Structure 1
Amino acid sequence: MTAMVDRIMKRVRGKGRGWAFTPKDFIDFGTRGSVDMALSRLAKSGQIRRVGRGIYDYPRLHDKLGALSPDADSLARALASKSGDKIGPAGATAANRLGLSTQVPAKSAYATDGATRTKHVAGRTVALKHARAPLLDNASDHANTVLQAIAHVGKDGMDSDVIHQFAERLGDADMKALINARPQMTGWMGDVVLRIAEARRN
């Protein structure tokens, strides 16, 4: 058990403070029961913190405030890991991150290929919404952010200015990933991807 504890803490430290995780993140180390036992021992010793059912974190520390709450992105990734779902930024968040919108979403919302649901973990509310666009396995977070933003803007909002804004925010590798993923998209989204690729060439 000591060896298991040491291996888990080595991985946790490697990820850095602020990382939220679940037992699935260590299942390559041994049985689920042994992982659960090791995590329980680490939580009791104060090396990690249990923030929800089956969710732990390696808390960031503040000189005056002590252990800080995990950020919403880290929690969302842990929730997705626990359920086996994919996640990405939800449409409004994606558009804001790309500079296409100045609207800052009031809640932490994420697109998922799983069911729409709201989770309350570590004092935060994390909204998971079933994605209107596919979440791609073989693509970067940035490419997935662009795809969710396309879905958010919508077919009717795709004027030439918006197309050029998307084109300016995509590198070659992400553009290639989106083109290769066109069969997974609805027809109009696939057409938008082609228009963005054309805009990048001109």
Structure 2
Amino acid sequence: MKRPEIENKIAAIIRKLPEGSILFVEDFLDYGNRENIKKALLRLKEKGIIIRIAFGIYLYPKIDNELGILYPSVEEIAQAIARRDKARIIPTGVQALNKLGLSTQVPLKAVFLTDGAARVVKIGKRTITFKKASPKNLLVKGEISGLVIQALKSIGKNKIENDLLTKVKSILKKETKENIIHDAKLAPAWINKILMETVREK
């Protein structure tokens, strides 16, 4: 397939995607070699069909009449990278607290544990850091209990206040008992105790 054909083919595929889709070179390798795909995406960027949001990461933009381009969240970009890499990820620190609704702070530096490659991705002023983790950290079954473990780790054993503990236990009620019991075994002893207290209170 010649270069203009590759570009036209990719443009046609992109236009059928939902607006707001995150795109990678790897999505189009059926239509040419990596170098030609890179060049085709660059030309489509120059034509305004897609936007480059980071090195090797593009966006088929969704545009709001008042707000302009609606950019994906750090979480959405991280999940898209994980899907591309066939890797598992878990938000940590402020990212985990924010996702649980325990913090309104939107971190400029989001950190995720992964069983994929360790890397840092820059998105404008924000960064996404993927930290290589031991398999044990990624064996959690429950999304909520997994987030709670990471959120509590980031706060620290001696800094947990009673009102926060009450909120955490309330959030954990949305998780299944089976998942909490499974994930508690993977957590540090002091977090295991909090999780198992929640199970007994259910």
TM-score bucket of the superposed structures, by smaller chain:
0.5 to 0.7
From 139, 149, 152, give the equivalent of 2:151: 149
Supply the RMSD in Å over aligned alpha carbons: 3.9
Larger radius of gyration: 2
- 1:66–1:159 Cα change, 3 Å: closer
Mapping 1:77-96, distance limit 5 Å? 77-96=79-98
**Stretches of structure 1 lacking an aligned partner (at least 5 in a row):** none
Mapping 1:130-145, distance limit 5 Å? 130=131, 134-136=137-139, 138-140=141-143, 142-145=144-147
Kindly provide the CA deviation profile for residues 70-95 of structure 1, in whole angstroms up to 9, marking residues without a partner as x.
43333333444455543343322322
**Structure 2 residue aligned with 1:110:** 111
CA–CA separation in structure 1 for the residues paired with 2:15 and 2:186? 39
Partner amino acid, structure 1, of 2:93: G
Partner amino acid, structure 2, of 1:178: I
Between the two proteins, what is the percent identity of the paired residues?
Answer: 24
Q: Is the 8 A contact 2:88 2:138 kept in 1?
A: yes
Partner amino acid, structure 1, of 2:125: R
**Structure 2 residue aligned with 1:170:** 172
Give the SS at the match of 1:181.
helix
**Stretches of structure 2 lacking an aligned partner (at least 5 in a row):** 1-5
| Mean Cα deviation higher: 56-65 or 37-46 | 37-46
Compute the TM-score of the two structures, normalised by the length of structure 1: 0.65
Partner amino acid, structure 1, of 2:110: A
Compute the TM-score of the two structures, normalised by the length of structure 2: 0.65
Mapping 1:5-84, distance limit 5 Å? 6-7=12-13, 9-10=15-16, 12-13=17-18, 16-17=19-20, 19-24=21-26, 26=27, 31=30, 33=32, 41=40, 44-45=43-44, 46-63=48-65, 66-67=68-69, 69-84=71-86
CA–CA separation in structure 1 for the residues paired with 2:61 and 2:38? 14
